[in-house]
């Protein structure tokens, strides 16, 4: 990582969320930080990053040399369907404020977070990093997707005009402790974990939205956090990189439901409501670029990571976001 020893300050926007908390754990409990580095984890209470003046004030306060930019309006399919406009406007504002202020404050490197749901709806599979702008995204999350795509436009333009090496990671579906387990606004896996917990507690049936046939690649937040640190320290491209388990590890929503049922030892009935949307049926992503750089990286097995997440949710039920 560029910068003199002792002078590195890494600012993590969205530091209180699913990914931010995982990075904090890797930095503080797994020895992820190097000597002399200062790590700052921000929440929206420290600064509303949709607001340019508040963004500037927080950069002025901490004077970071590096930024991991995670802050975003985030949510599952059903929240996207209701609030497409808000996803577009808030995420555009946050990203423009963070990248512009980072540039103004001479930040050496920014690693921003995109998502595989920003890729074109009609595409060939597997998706790779070159395809982001090849066609419209799935209409269910168009606002979020276009705002995220513009981060890549920003990064290329900052390189072209100012020589900045700002880059982006593209994770597949993330899960882990500190997720948003809200039944309506959460992503598919945390919402299903919450539903299964309630079905077991209350002795009711588990109702799953959609057919269960949609396919997804899931990455454990702690694996993603370890890879984020590697990107910050060693990945030198402006072009984004997909951070995901391999294509062979893609599973159906039904497979995920079965794994949650096993983790909670739930024995009640399970009903699939096919009148509800499945969202995009698949978005299979290639991790070939990651594997070229990191052939050695070991992902936590899905069932183990899921069990840890379910146990964390049950242990923190009263205080967690839900
Ligand atoms: N979750 C996934 O499956 C997934 C998949 C692919 C990509 N991503 C991307 O990964 C990144 C992190 O996602 P996550 O799942 O960790 O999100 P999350 O758990 O919902 O956390 C969002 C974070 O952003 C902060 N934030 C939201 N609005 C803000 C604002 N206006 N000003 C300042 N901070 C704000 C939140 O602060 P508060 O705690 O104060 O609200 C929180 O720290 C996002 O960029 C997301 O798009 C997520």
pTM score, two decimals? 0.94
Would you mind telling me the total number of residues written for the chain in this entry?
322
Residue 2 CA, chain-centre distance (Å), reads: 25
How far is Cα 230 from Cα 32, in angstroms, rounded to an integer? 10
How far is Cα 83 from Cα 76, in angstroms, rounded to an integer? 11
For ligand 1, the distance from its centroid to the CA atom of residue 74, given in whole angstroms, is 6
How far is Cα 249 from Cα 74, in angstroms, rounded to an integer? 24
Ranges of the chain whose pLDDT falls below 70: 1-6
Q: Which of 74, 96, 97 to mutate to test the pocket of ligand 1 (most atoms within 8 A of CB)?
A: 74
Q: Give the pLDDT score at 1.
A: 64
For ligand 1, the distance from its centroid to the CA atom of residue 271, given in whole angstroms, is 31
Q: Give the pLDDT score at 136.
A: 96
Q: Give the pLDDT score at 280.
A: 79
User: Which letter does DSSP use for residue 161 in this model?
Assistant: H
Neighbours of 270 (CB within 10 A): 16
In a domain, 115, yes or no: yes
Which 3 state secondary structure label does DSSP give 142?
helix
In a domain, 321, yes or no: no
If you take atom 22 of ligand 1, which residue's CA is the nearest one?
Answer: 17
In a domain, 134, yes or no: yes
Domain residues for the domain of 288 are 8-175+218-246+284-300
Tally of structural domains, the chain: 1
Q: Which of 144, 166, 197, 220 is catalytic?
A: 144
Q: Give the pLDDT score at 271.
A: 95
In a domain, 121, yes or no: yes
CATH number for the domain harbouring residue 122:
3.40.50.720
């Amino acid at each position: 990582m560029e910068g003199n020893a002792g002078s590195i300050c890494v600012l993590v926007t969205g530091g209180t969320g699913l990914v931010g908390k995982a990075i904090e754990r890797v930095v503080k409990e797994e020895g992820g930080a190097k000597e002399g580095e200062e790590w700052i984890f921000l929440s929206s209470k420290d600064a509303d990053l949709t607001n340019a003046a508040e963004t500037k004030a927080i950069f002025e306060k901490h004077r970071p040399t590096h930024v991991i930019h995670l802050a975003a309006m985030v949510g599952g399919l059903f929240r996207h369907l209701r609030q497409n406009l808000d996803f577009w406007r808030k995420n555009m504002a946050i990203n423009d404020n963070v990248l512009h202020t980072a540039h103004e404050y001479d930040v050496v490197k920014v690693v921003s977070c995109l998502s595989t749901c920003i890729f074109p709806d009609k595409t060939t599979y597997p998706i790779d990093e070159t395809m982001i702008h090849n066609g419209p995204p799935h209409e269910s999350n168009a606002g979020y997707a276009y705002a995220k795509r513009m981060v890549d436009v920003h990064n290329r333009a900052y390189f072209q005009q100012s020589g900045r090496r700002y880059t982006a990671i593209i994770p597949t579906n993330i899960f882990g402790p500190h997720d948003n387990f809200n039944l309506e606004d959460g992503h598919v896996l945390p919402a299903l974990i919450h539903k299964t917990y309630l079905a077991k507690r209350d002795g009711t049936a588990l109702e799953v939205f959609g057919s269960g046939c949609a396919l997804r690649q899931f990455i454990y937040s702690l694996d993603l956090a370890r890879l984020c640190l590697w990107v910050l320290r060693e990945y030198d491209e402006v072009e984004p990189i997909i951070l995901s388990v391999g294509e062979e590890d893609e599973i159906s929503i039904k497979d995920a439901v079965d794994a949650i049922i096993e983790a909670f030892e739930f024995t009640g009935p399970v009903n699939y409501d096919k009148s509800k949307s499945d969202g995009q049926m698949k978005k299979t992503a290639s991790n070939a670029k990651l594997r070229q750089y990191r052939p050695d990286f070991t992902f936590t097995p899905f069932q183990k990571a899921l069990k840890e997440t379910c146990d964390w949710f049950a242990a923190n039920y009263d205080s967690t976001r839900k």
